[in-house]
Structure 1
Amino acid sequence: MLTVDFTRFPLAAGDRVLDLGCGAGRHAFECYRRGARVVALDRNGAEIREVAKWFAAMEEAGEAPAGATATAMEGDALALPFPDDSFDVVIISEVMEHIPDDKGVLAEMVRVLRPGGRIAVTVPRYGPERICWALSDAYHEVEGGHIRIYRADGLLRKMREAGLKPYGSHHAHALHSPYWWLKCAFGVDNERALPVKAYHKLLVWDIMKKPLATRTVERALNPLIGKSFVAYATKPHTPKAGV
């Protein structure tokens, strides 16, 4: 299930891509399939080891084109182990709401992104997220949980302050908002509640089958209750001194 829309965020074969806070690796895998040279980085060592295994399996199965590369590594988003201007593309999906120093993370992403490079940032959308917080303290008051709720204009302002030039945005995953509202209402860790189980079954079916009916419904609902806000930006070229 991708949050970044690659029709709005073009990716070319050979692009150097950093998936920052990659988690289970969904965006990293897609970039690898598209022929990119991918680095998937996360602070969670267990997840990184799983991502590395999937990269190896994809290579063995021939899922990535010739020239594509993939590396999974453990690291700190506030101290990236890469030189300036290392990447053509940076993706950070559903990560910044967890990090106290989000301005520091943006600064590091801008540092390692080459001038003219592209960045995609996704965070939980303000409205659906406010409902989750109102329904359940356990949803966000946990170690490593969400520590802030972004308004779209606030995130875009922080991106501009970091030196980026936003060029587009949208909302995604409308069908997932009711699921999280149900989980918050019945208990975040309560997987036995019938409404939660039934809705989860629907989501799994939708993800696996991608039927036209639910895809159409979600596209219609995304502007209203999309769970994620997605913003795209470029890093402008800096004029040379004396020019």
Structure 2
Amino acid sequence: MLKFDGNGARRTERLYASPDVEAQRKYVMSLLAPQPGERVLDVGSGPGYLLALIAEAVGSTGATHGLEQSLAMNELAAARTSGTPWAHIDEGDAVALPYPDGTFDAAVSTQVYEYVADITGALSELRRVLRPGGRALILDTDADSLVWHTADLELHRRVLAAWEEHLVHPRLPRTLPGLLRRAGFEITGRHVYVMFNPQMAPDSFSIRMMDTMANFVVGRQGLTEADAQAWRADLRARSAEGDYVYSMNRYVFLVTAI
């Protein structure tokens, strides 16, 4: 698993500050559409970027709660939402939400449930803390949707196989519809958000992910530091030759608590 200690949290914060992830947050906000006065939960709130936007949307007559296991992440989120005292940062687990039944009007979870082993329990907990008729937005990635142009296909395959070790459910979106229905939700919308980098810009999502992945895979699947550097060099060569392509699908489900 990835570590979200002090250094890991700051790396994640820098990744989430990229223009690509900022655009994703705007897309999520347009679909979730938090309203003034609503109570909204962010499961896996991380460094608090999305939580801060939700807090601004619901205003002082509403409330937001960001739930996160990492103390380092919670410190970043608390600093980011310090100007909105109705934004609360809570330490906890997605499979045991520390809130009474029916607390929230809406909830959101982006890139979180793919890390949760007990996905059935986590979705049941999400349903429990939503009021009847409350809504939720869930966004996760299917690892098989990745398109990343490389010359050394075998090395690339090994890197991706090693990278998958940081996930519990690398292909979660294809099973989410049934899981959501069984947890007590009605699916009201399905969307695909594409992370697309047609070039290797310095602040692009893919170049920041490339560094994170190269660090993670060393020592896994037989990969060495030299392998990781060769993989990075291959991708940079594709950029230099003008044939760089990165694309990843993120699947969005909008649901209502029955």
Please say whether Structure 1 and Structure 2 have the same fold, judged by a TM-score greater than 0.5: yes
Question: What residue number does 2:17 align with?
Answer: none
Deviations 1:50-108 (A, max 9, x none): 1111111xx1xxxx6xxx71011211211111100000011111011111100110010
d(CA) in 1 for partners of 2:28 and 2:237? 28
SS in 1 for 2:189: strand
The verdict on how the C-alpha distance between 1:161 and 1:176 changes in structure 2, with shifts beyond 3 A counting, is farther
Q: Residue 252 of structure 2 corresponds to which residue in structure 1?
A: 230
Unaligned 5+ segments in structure 1 are 201-220, 237-243
CA change 1:115–1:198 in 2 (3 A) is farther
Aligned position for 1:122: 139
Aligned partners of 1:55, 1:45: CA distance in 2, in Å? 15
Q: Distance in 2 between matches of 1:125 and 1:168?
A: 18
Question: Which residue of the partner structure matches residue 27 of structure 1?
Answer: 50
Q: Which residue of structure 2 aligns with residue 157 of structure 1?
A: 178
Q: State the one-letter code of the partner of 2:170.
A: I
Shift of 1:194: 5.8
Render the CA deviation track for 1:14-62: whole Å, top value 9, x for unaligned: 1101101111122211101212411011000111011111111xx1xxx
1: distance between equivalents of 2:143 and 2:52? Answer: 28
Pairs within 5 Å for 1:72-221: 72-128=89-145, 135-141=159-165, 145-150=166-171, 152-175=173-196, 179=206, 183=210, 187-188=214-215, 193=232
Q: TM-score normalized by structure 1?
A: 0.70
CA distance in 2, matches of 1:182, 1:69: 33
Does the 8 Å contact 1:133/1:139 carry over to 2? no
Does 1:17 pair with 2:53?
Answer: no
CA distance in 2: counterparts of 1:165 and 1:136, whole angstroms: 34
What amino acid does structure 1 have at the position aligned with 2:91? E
Distance apart, 1:233 and its partner CA: 0.3
Let me know the Cα RMSD of the aligned residues.
3.4
Question: What CA distance in whole angstroms lies between the structure 2 residues aligned with 1:191 and 1:51?
Answer: 33
- Structure 2: which 5+ residue stretches go unaligned? 1-21, 149-155, 199-204, 217-227, 240-245
SS in 1 for 2:79: helix
CA–CA distance in structure 2, aligned partners of residues 17 and 150 of structure 1: 27
Shift of 1:180: 7.2
Figure out how many residues of one structure are paired with residues of the other and give that number.
200
Please tell me whether the aligned partners of residues 103 and 130 of structure 2 are also in contact (alpha carbons under 8 angstroms): yes
